Amino acid sequence: APILYWMRRDLRLSDNPALTWVVQQGRPVIPVFCLDEVVETWGAAPKWRLGLGLDVLRGSLEDAGARLILRRGQALDVLRTLIEETGADTVVWNRLYVADERTRDTAVKEALRSDGLTARSFAGHVLFEPWTVETGSGGYYKVYTPFWKAVRDRDPGAPEPAPKEFAAPEVWPQSEALDDWDLGRAMSRGAAVVAPYARVGSAAAEGRLGHFMAHGVADYDSGRDKLAEDGTSGLSENLTLGEIGIRTCWAAGQRAMADGKPGAETFLKELVWRDFAHHLAYHTPHLTSENWRSEWDAFPWSDDNDLAEAWRRGRTGVEVVDAGMREMYVTGRMHNRARMLVASYLTKHLMTHWKVGADWFADCLIDWDPASNAMGWQWAAGSGPDASPFFRIFNPDTQAEKFDPRGTYRRRWLAEGQAKPKETADAFFEAIPESWGLTPGQGYPAPIVDLKEGRDRALAAYKQRDTGQ
Ligand code: FAD
């Protein structure tokens, strides 16, 4: 009987424990991707980017003599239907750790087992699964540095090579057409503006990793913080969909360490930040939906509001904040330093709830990762476990002087007031919906909130929360 391999955030053939196991069984394998109850909730850019990834994956599977079966519906219904159609008796997948994914997967596993079928899951999405990293007293980690110390000398295992060939089932089940899913539907700007920035699929991801190891990692320690520079790996859009395996990245980082490349350890640490986000999402599932520290429930953050709308549109009048927001709108990504700045600005200067920001990121980022996004936002807001203290409020202007001293990043993304704006800056105005009613000719806005007043207001609210007065 064939084995169903249920693919989710593991759109790759190498460094893939579930797939390796299936192929070792020597039985026919049917790879399936399901547009299910979890994927349906994704935002515009992540869904659009998923569509591109599935298209490339389908090609790689076909090159290896297999197919990718696409089906839409509740995951369990889809799998049961396919089992009936194909006679499969086994379903396998690589495990995920965020609340909605786990709820779905646990229910699927229980139901399939109660149907008398084999359901097996594997570790493939993180370096070290959340329950394997324990504190001295057997708990989970709430702070990053001890987490890093606990894992840095561990071996996550060598990545497996891609299978050379797949045993095909006698009859392939029907697949729905990817085009019919229209995954770019909500992403009107996608095809035209963002597409050139996306690097899709496993081959592109491996190329990116190789390039970074050859050219980027040595300067990563300082390069990663410079807003105008391409000083990081760019792998997040591939890692979130599993187009490259995390152990492949880890192994490359370890080789660079052994070669004495200066930034290699910092790169490994960043990979472990990603693991840490999943560790937290697993042990404290409310990470993605509520203030991690419930004392923040009493903080007077506002829900969505006009100032937040100006923030989304890159019209706050604070240049580095607006540059970051526009970079994200045009490229589907944002520099990490800019993410920290725009998140601090929204939650502190604009006193708006981090969830408003996290939701907009979830709609705009092609590298959206539910665990890293929530952890990043709760860190910036001060409500997370290992958070930046609320009273440490970034001054965006000082940050811009430090990390964009020549204004290159800001000019790259802000067209207003420039005689000859960069193409990238103009692209923002091509990308935005007409309903925003924005043109570069309108001129650049004055700050919607005075930086000092905003800071003082946030600190006063924080003090009040702290003293309960
Ligand atoms: P590199 O610097 O090359 O790092 C290599 C890899 O390490 C990344 O690809 C990523 O997988 C991981 N990594 C690096 N920094 C972090 C971090 N702080 N947290 C978790 N993992 C990290 N990252 C996402 O992948 N998806 C998100 O939705 C996301 N949302 C964020 C929201 C906020 C408010 C903040 C402050 C950060 C967020 N990050 C998110 C983390 C970080 O900004 C990105 O991972 C990074 O900018 C991606 O660029 P890169 O691949 O070139 O990273």
pLDDT tens digits for range 351-377: 999 999 999 999 999 999 999 999 999
- Which of 270, 280, 292 gets mutated to test ligand 1 (max ligand atoms within 8 A of its CB)? 270
Q: What is the pLDDT, as a whole number, of residue 24?
A: 95
Going by the DSSP 8-state scheme, the letter that residue 302 receives in this structure is: B
Going by the DSSP 8-state scheme, the letter that residue 137 receives in this structure is: T
Q: Which of 168-182, 183-197, 198-212 has the lowest mean pLDDT?
A: 183-197
Share of the chain above pLDDT 90, in %: 93
152 backbone dihedrals φ, ψ, rounded to 5°:
-60, -30
pLDDT at 456 over 60: yes
Atom of ligand 1 nearest to the CA of 373: 30
Average pLDDT over residues 182-198: 85
Query: What Rg do the C-alpha atoms of the chain give, in angstroms?
Result: 23
Query: Using 50, 70 and 90 to split pLDDT, how confident is the model at 469?
Result: low
pLDDT at 212 over 60: yes
What are the tokens at 337? 């330093």
- The span from the CA of 237 to the CA of 241, in Å, is 7
Does 365 contact ligand 1 (Cβ within 6 A)? yes
Does 226 contact ligand 1 (Cβ within 6 A)? no
- Which of 225, 238, 372 gets mutated to test ligand 1 (max ligand atoms within 8 A of its CB)? 372
Average pLDDT over residues 434-454: 94
Q: What is the pLDDT, as a whole number, of residue 392?
A: 87
Q: What is the pLDDT, as a whole number, of residue 306?
A: 98
- The span from the CA of 265 to the CA of 91, in Å, is 38
Distance 325 CA to ligand 1 centre (A): 16
Q: Whose CA is nearest to atom 31 of ligand 1?
A: 373
Q: What is the pLDDT, as a whole number, of residue 190?
A: 59
- DSSP, collapsed to helix, strand or coil, labels residue 71 as strand
Chain-wide mean pLDDT for the chain? 96
pLDDT at 467 over 70: no
Does 376 contact ligand 1 (Cβ within 6 A)? yes
Does 252 contact ligand 1 (Cβ within 6 A)? no
Q: How far apart, in Å, are the Cα atoms of 413 and each of 147, 229, 231, 425?
A: 37, 14, 18, 4
Q: Is 168 left (phi over 0), alpha (psi -120 to 50) or beta?
A: beta
Query: Using 50, 70 and 90 to split pLDDT, how confident is the model at 387?
Result: confident
Q: What is the pLDDT, as a whole number, of residue 369?
A: 98
Does 377 contact ligand 1 (Cβ within 6 A)? yes
Atom of ligand 1 nearest to the CA of 216: 3
In 3D space, the residue among 291, 345, 298 whose CA is nearest the CA of residue 322 turns out to be: 345
Residues 390, 462: contact at Cβ < 8 Å?
Answer: yes
**Residue that has been written with the tokens 């547009």 in this structure:** 35
Other CB atoms within 10 A of residue 20 CB: 18
Does 233 contact ligand 1 (Cβ within 6 A)? yes
pLDDT tens digits along 410-440: 999 999 989 999 999 999 999 999 899 999 9
Q: What is the pLDDT, as a whole number, of residue 192?
A: 73
Distance 217 CA to ligand 1 centre (A): 16
- The structural domains of the chain, ordered by start, are 1-124 (3.40.50.620), 126-156+198-283 (1.25.40.80), 294-467 (1.10.579.10)
Q: Whose CA is nearest to atom 25 of ligand 1?
A: 236
Q: What is the pLDDT, as a whole number, of residue 168?
A: 93
Q: Which residue has the higher pLDDT, 201 or 441?
A: 201
Dump the DSSP string for 343-366: HHIIIIIS-B-HHHHHHHHHHH-T
Atom of ligand 1 nearest to the CA of 365: 28
Burial profile 275-313: b = 16 or more Cβ within 10 angstroms, e = fewer = bbbbbbbbbbbebbebbbeeebeebebeeeeebbebbbb
Strand order across the beta sheet in which 118-122 lies:
69-72, 29-35, 3-7, 90-94, 118-122
Distance 348 CA to ligand 1 centre (A): 21
pLDDT tens digits along 56-95: 999 999 999 999 999 999 999 999 999 999 999 999 999 9
pLDDT at 390 over 90: no
Does 288 contact ligand 1 (Cβ within 6 A)? no
Residues 275, 127: contact at Cβ < 8 Å?
Answer: yes
- The span from the CA of 467 to the CA of 469, in Å, is 5
